[in-house]
Amino acid sequence: FPVTILAGLAKEVVDYVLSKNFKTLIYSSCNVETLERDFHMLKEKYFIKTLKPFDMFMKTSHFEVVAVFENRL
């Protein structure tokens, strides 16, 4: 699937995920804006069960976020 760094999920990936019945999705992001955008595209079928920031680069202002999405069904 065409995934670009920092760009979040490509529309084709979102369409594929929504066409399946995955129980859980693990989403790792270094860009909270694209995480939010992608969440809005997935929220009809998935909710965020866990959202956790990780400071992997302690001497910078950057952090990673891991979101665990659960299927609403």
Give me the active site residues, please.
30
Give the Cα separation of 44 and 13 in Å (integer).
15
The amino acid at 47 = F
Per-residue pLDDT, 6: 65
Quote the pTM value: 0.83
pLDDT (tens place) for every residue of the chain, 73 residues total: 554 456 889 999 999 999 999 999 999 998 889 999 999 999 999 999 999 999 988 888 888 999 999 999 8
Provide the pLDDT for residue 38.
96
- pLDDT, residue 43, reads 96
DSSP 40-64: HHHTTTEEEEEEEEE-SSTTSS--E
For the chain, first and last CA: distance in Å? 25
Residue 41 CA to residue 8 CA, distance in Å, equals 11
Q: How far apart are CA 36 and CA 8, in angstroms?
A: 9
